[in-house]
Structure formats: C-alpha cells, structure tokens
Structure 1
C-alpha cells in the first residue's frame, strides 16, 4: 500500500470540500449579482413603459373606439418626440413587421435592432420581449419591446434601447472583486489549514522518529516538552513516560540478571569446591566428606528453588491456565504453616498462629495458592533475625478473606516499598535470592481476583496481606487463566 500523509488526506478531503463550497458560493454570488444588475436595467425600461402607458391613460388617448386610433398614434409619436431621457434610452415606435417608425433621437438607423426582442414580444404571453446584443460599432446594448395593447394607427410596439457599457464595467468590477476575494479566501484557508495540519504533523513526525529510536533500543531519547496541553502534548508526555518506564525496566532487568547470575554462581562455586575436595577423600566416613555432601545437597536445593522461581515467573509472563476449585483458605494456610514451621524453628524463630474455627471458602488454584504462601513465608524467614517472631493471621469480612504474614525483621525502606512487587526489582537491603518472589505472588493473587498489600517500617518488620474474595456460587467461570 502506497504511503500517504495527513497533508495529502487533508488536501483530498477537507481542502477539496472547502474549495467546492467556496466555488459554489462564488457562483451563487456572481449569478445573483448578474441577474440583479442586468435585471435592474430591464426593470427600469419596463417602468418607463408603465409610466408612458399611465400618461396616455390619464390623457384619455387609450379610451377605445376606432375613431381614436389615429389620435393614439399621434399621441405616441408626440411622446417619442418629447421623451426627456434621450441621453439614457433610445425610444422607438415599431409597426407590425418590426420596422422602426419613429425614434426619440430622430435617426432611423437599423444598428440598434436585431429583431429578436420584437419576435419574443409577439410570442410571449405578456407581450414583452428582451434582447442583448452588440451593435456594429462594438457597443453592447439591451433592447426591450412591448406590444401596444390597443390600436394606434400602424404602431404595433414600443421599444427602448439602452447602452450596457456602464453595466458591463460594473459587472467586470463585481467579477474582479469576487475572484479576488475568492482567491484571498482560498489562500487564507490554505495557509490556516496548512498551519494547523503542520502543527499536528510536525509533532507526530517527532513522535514517530522518537518511537522508532526507542524501538531500536535508544531508551535515553526523549521528546521535547510542548507548550500545548492537548492530545499531542499528552501523547508526547505519554511517550516520554513510556521511555522512562522502559529504561527503568531495562535497568532493573540488567540488575536482575546480574543479581541472579551472582546468586547462581555462589552455590555453583561452593558445589564445585566441595566436589574437588571430596574427590581427594577416599574415606566416606571422613567428617569433611559428610560435610561436603551436606553442603552440596543444601546448595543444590537452593539452586533448584531459584530455578523454579525463574520458571514460575516465565510461565506467569507467558500465561498459564489455573485449575481453580472451591478451597478452604484456613486449611490451605494451615498446611502451608505446617510445611514451613520446621524451617522457622531451625532458623531460631518463633511462630504464632491461631487457626480460625470456621472455614473460609475461596475459589482458587491450590498449587498456586500454596506457592503464594511459601514465597511469603520464605521472605519472612530470610529477613528475620534469630529470636524474632513470625505471625500468621486470618480474618474475614462478608465479602473478603485476608491472610497476613508479619515478621519482626529488618523491614523495607519507604522508597522501595512501592516497588518491591515490580518485575526485576530488588530492594537495597535485600538478601540472597532471585528477587522475583513478590512479583510472582502479585501476579497469582491478581489473577485470582485479589490484591496484595505490604506494610513495612525499617527495623520493625514487614506485614504482607493477601486478600481474596469469598466464594459465591457462579464464580466458577472467573479467574481461569493468568
């Protein structure tokens, strides 16, 4: 498909319509002006005829009877001779064949007639005919002929001729002014339209170029600030914010890769070292031999846990299907507590949990819910000092159930508190681990229709609360995929 631009679309669309409207307006104006200008001349001549007929009527020359025919003819001839607007009009009397019988100027030249107005008067219903033509001398004139409504000797029609030179000049002025105004209006529309379109196209061009650079990996590029708080300005702000978020995500990703690489290298180094040591020991009962096997087993479990976290995170990003069912949250939390209780005591910590007597039904995936609990407990254990206490509390409202795990560990810095659930983020006081446990927890809980709340204070501990909706019949079709 051929590329088009907004300017081309504007020219083919809006500008073309505006030009057509302008041309139509010009045509209507010129047509109306032409009709008014030349129609005014015709009406002026017809008014002269009406005035002459009124005078004849007043003097009684049109009062009927064959005996007055000659007197009417004489009256008409006197009217022509005494016509007082000879400088504007040429007044003529015509016979039944259209031959000039008398004129107001006294000349009988045929230059001021072409016969068409007389023929039109003979065939028209009102007995009036009009013609415009150019004389042999090159002068444009208008002739109007009206039939005499009574017998007047051999006089059959009255005719007036006037020059159109002044009217033509005025019409030419109208035409010139109209075309000039039309051209100026077109240029104004073109300029204003191009100015407006370019005010959109130029920023969009910068947006396109900047977005292209961002797509190619240049996350430092930014759009210049715009002075307009419109759609373009907000789009520029959104693009800049997107670039900042991408840069931050890229930074966190790099830090995450570096951190995970370090976390993987530490147990691998320990395993490799003890393998080399064990190779030199032939006695399986040797203390170092047994200690080496223990360290290798511990570090292998640590590696397995980290790899599982990474795989879980990858699966969540790609989308997995949840196997949800009606669960008792109290039973699930109790099972998770029993699973981690031995490790809590091994780390020199106390565990406080009072199991609620009633079940708390929820609609969830048991495997994923167990993973949520284990990750939260794991963080609570890692960030607690020996001698501290971990609290597990379950509460319920008519619509929600909440599981809270509180520790008395080092806490989270206020600047990091809003970011600990972000992908790849690892707090400044974080200990070993991949740093994606809370991100996985947040993804799963949101997929189940719940929320994760974290409250913490440095040196006082952290509380992680998981809130899920209470199960109601009909909820089965919800939260089936992540």
Structure 2
C-alpha cells in the first residue's frame, strides 16, 4: 500500500509540481535575460538617437558641403568618444566596412556583418547581433544607418561586451536554482509527511481489516475521537463494523443453538412416539391415536419452522417474489384471526375482534400478509398467560390502514425492545422459536411499503401496530 500510494503521488502530484516549477524557472530566466539584453540595446539606441539629433543641426552652403560637415563631425565623435571602456564606436561605409573606430584599429576579430545586414533590411534601419568574437568573448553589436547624407559614412555601430551581463545572469540563475531546489525540497518533504500520515494509518487499518476477515472479531483500532480527521473516522467505522460482526456472530451462534434445540424437541417427541407405536398393534388404542396426533402436530411445527427459515433466507437474498394484487385487508385479517381462534381458546385466552363492515383496499401479497398476521398472533399467544386477552383492531386513516394486535402477556424488556426485529436475536424473556419471526415480519412489511411498530411494557403486554398504504385505483 505504501509503495502504491507513494508511487501514485510521485507520478501524479510531485511530477506535475516539478514540471510547473521548472517551467516557471525557465520563463523567469528567459525573461530576466531578455530584459538585461533589451536594457543594453536600449542604452545604445539612445546614443544613436542623440547622435542623429546632432547631425540634423549640421548645415552648409550646399548639400555636398553639409554631407562633408556631417562626415567630419562623425569622425570627431569617434575620436573623442568618452566611453571607450564600455563601447566600441565605429563608422561604416556602404558595404559594411569599418571607416573609423574609437579604438583606432580596424576592429579585426570583433566585427561581423550580421548587424549591418539586418539594419539594411529593417524598416527603422537598426540591426542587432549577438555573437562571440575571435577571442571567445560574447558581445552585442547594434548598427544604425545614418539618416542623413554624410559622404562615405553609411552607418554607425556600437559594440559592447556582455561579460558582466552574463555574470549577472549566471548569479541570478544560481540563486533561482537554489530557490527552486528549496521549493522542491519542501514539496517533497511535506508530501512525504502527508503521504506517511495517510499510508501508516491505512496500513494499520489494512492489518486490522485482514484480522477481521480471518474471523478475529475482537480486534479494534485506536480512535482519537477527532471528527475532522477522515482517517480517524474510518477507524471508528471499522470498529463499528467489527462490533456489528461480532454481535452478529454471537447472535448467529445463539440462533444455531436455539434452532437446534427447537428442532431437537419435536424430533425427540416424534422419535419417542414412533418407538411407542411400533409396540402397538391395535389402531384403536388410545395411545395409538394420541401418538399419531402428536407426530402430526410436531411434524407441522417442524415444517412451519423450516418454511419460516427458508422464507427469511429468500427474502434477505431477494429471491422471494411478492405476488401483489388489490385485496380487502379486513377479509385477510379476519381469515387469520379465525385460523388462530381455536388455538387461542385452547390456551385459555380471550379474543376481542370486531370485524368492520366496510372493506379496506390495499395492494399486497395475500399469502405474505397472512403470514405476518399469524406470526404476530402466534407471538401474542405464546407470551400470554391463561385468562389473558388478545385484542385485534383495524381502522382506515387518510393514507394508510392500521392493524393493532394487543396482548396482556409478559412484555418485552426495554433493553431487548430495539433489537427484537433483528435477525437471530432472542431476548432474555423469549420462549421457544427460531428468533427470526419478527425479523421476517419486518422484512415482509418493508417489501410491501408498510411499517411495523412495537410498544411493550414489561409484565403488562405488547402492542404491535402494522401500517399499509391505502390502495387507490
């Protein structure tokens, strides 16, 4: 993980940062050098402008005399040139040859024709050339055509050394490289610190998640409680997941133990009576008929339990399809109550149910709806003592129909009330059963766009309220 995130950071963020910094560095060095060269060029151009201004004032009796005076003036300027330590001032003929030079020589080895050629082609009559002399020195030559007739003088040239300029540029370049190195160093250090701050906690999360995947559900990650820290919130989420899995695993084991016990009881009864019936040859014997009845009841109980488990499994996996259609909720509830009425009487309980005269239309699966009613009524019977009352109510609201099933049984402890709809959960006050009845009911009601609410008082009974949308054509 460390290698992967670090490599992605190197290939992505750091690579782009390096490119951006190098681009800015290149632009800075280029523009800085251009500004220095332009400054030198502008200085020489100002000298040419001053000389041209002086030449304009020279006059004579004739045009030839005027040109001669300008030529003499230019030669005098060359001889009296004050900045010989900075510039080489030259006068050129029409072919670019040197007529006069401020150094008194022909300037051999430092002269090329590039600036003169460019000046002849340029609209403003100015040409610039940067080149190396025979001695290896870099110079800048600026040539300007003389705008007035001056006999054989056709152009002026100023040549200056760029050694100091290049030294200055080199210093600036070194300083800028140091700044770039510092920026990149800070970027790398801060990036590695940031990456390490993510990679190390993620590595810890990965190890703990691997432990959880191996079934070690008691492991936990350290949490600081900082809600602003995404990694810390991730640790908290992993811990919650581990706690949920641990609780689910515990409930699953309890469920397996409970179901095994629930299955063993009827199987033991069936096996015992089968052994008893083997010894009886008379079908008219009272024990023979009693044994068959018990075997039939226990088999039906086993069948219902297995069907409940299969239905819940199909519903959780999305394989249980609802065959919904418009139906009368009152009729479906009445059928379920009549189905359980005989058992309610056998258990010594009282049933209070007044069937409404008007139908209540809903859109639901009748088989699953009947399963919901019978499951809740079965719980009311199991958890009620003889002499208790089971009350069933149904009414229609503006948008929903409501069914209320009330018992006077032992009730549900407050600590179990919020978990009784959880799969595999069996409360401390529970009796026989698989532990998924209410979870199945809740799943069916959710699939039907309905609701199931529970209210219970320990020792006084439980109220289950079901809600279904009213069907409108």
Q: So what's the TM-score if we normalise by structure 1?
A: 0.90
CA contact (8 A) 2:60 2:69 kept: no
Which runs of structure 2 are paired with 1:200-279 in the superposition (5 Å)?
Answer: 200-225=198-223, 227=226, 229-279=228-278
What secondary structure does 1:5 align onto? helix
Which runs of structure 2 are paired with 1:289-300 in the superposition (5 Å)?
Answer: 289-300=288-299
Displacement of 1:34 in angstroms is: 1.5
Alignment correspondent of 2:150: 152
CA contact (8 A) 1:360 1:396 kept: yes
Matched, 1:165 2:178: no
Structure 2 unaligned spans of 5+:
none
CA contact (8 A) 1:95 1:157 kept: yes
Alignment correspondent of 1:343: 343
Alignment correspondent of 2:49: 50
CA contact (8 A) 2:311 2:320 kept: no
CA contact (8 A) 1:73 1:154 kept: yes
Structure 1 unaligned spans of 5+:
474-482
Displacement of 1:179 in angstroms is: 2.5
Displacement of 1:224 in angstroms is: 3.2
Displacement of 1:97 in angstroms is: 3.3
Which runs of structure 2 are paired with 1:318-329 in the superposition (5 Å)?
Answer: 318=317, 319-329=319-329
Alignment correspondent of 1:26: 25
CA contact (8 A) 1:454 1:464 kept: yes
CA contact (8 A) 1:62 1:150 kept: no
Alignment correspondent of 1:421: 421
Alignment correspondent of 2:365: 365
Structure 1 range deviating more: 452-461 or 181-190? 181-190
CA gap 1:109/1:290 in 2 versus in 1, 3 angstroms: closer
Mapped to 1, the partners of 2:201 and 2:29 lie a distance apart of 42
Structure 1 range deviating more: 436-445 or 283-292? 283-292
CA contact (8 A) 1:57 1:63 kept: no
Displacement of 1:416 in angstroms is: 0.6
What secondary structure does 2:31 align onto? helix
Alignment correspondent of 1:177: 175
Alignment correspondent of 2:93: 95
CA RMSD of aligned residues (A): 2.5
Displacement of 1:177 in angstroms is: 2.2
Q: Count how many residue pairs are aligned between Structure 1 and Structure 2.
A: 470
Displacement of 1:290 in angstroms is: 4.9
CA contact (8 A) 1:56 1:62 kept: no
Mapped to 2, the partners of 1:63 and 1:458 lie a distance apart of 133
Which runs of structure 2 are paired with 1:30-179 in the superposition (5 Å)?
Answer: 30-58=29-57, 60-61=58-59, 65-179=63-177
Displacement of 1:433 in angstroms is: 1.4
Mapped to 2, the partners of 1:387 and 1:361 lie a distance apart of 34
Deviations 1:93-128 (A, max 9, x none): 223333333333334442332233223323333222
Mapped to 2, the partners of 1:375 and 1:62 lie a distance apart of 129
What secondary structure does 1:149 align onto? coil
Deviations 1:113-170 (A, max 9, x none): 2233223323333222222233333322222221222222322222212111110101
Mapped to 1, the partners of 2:229 and 2:104 lie a distance apart of 79
Mapped to 2, the partners of 1:130 and 1:52 lie a distance apart of 18
Displacement of 1:367 in angstroms is: 1.1
What secondary structure does 1:221 align onto? coil
Mapped to 1, the partners of 2:320 and 2:415 lie a distance apart of 32
Mapped to 2, the partners of 1:4 and 1:397 lie a distance apart of 62
Alignment correspondent of 2:16: 17
CA contact (8 A) 1:61 1:75 kept: no
CA contact (8 A) 1:420 1:438 kept: yes
Displacement of 1:231 in angstroms is: 4.3
Alignment correspondent of 2:309: 310
Mapped to 1, the partners of 2:262 and 2:28 lie a distance apart of 85
CA gap 1:74/1:437 in 2 versus in 1, 3 angstroms: same
Displacement of 1:401 in angstroms is: 0.6
Displacement of 1:285 in angstroms is: 5.6
Alignment correspondent of 1:478: none
Mapped to 1, the partners of 2:403 and 2:274 lie a distance apart of 43
Displacement of 1:230 in angstroms is: 4.6
CA contact (8 A) 2:330 2:355 kept: yes
CA gap 1:134/1:315 in 2 versus in 1, 3 angstroms: closer
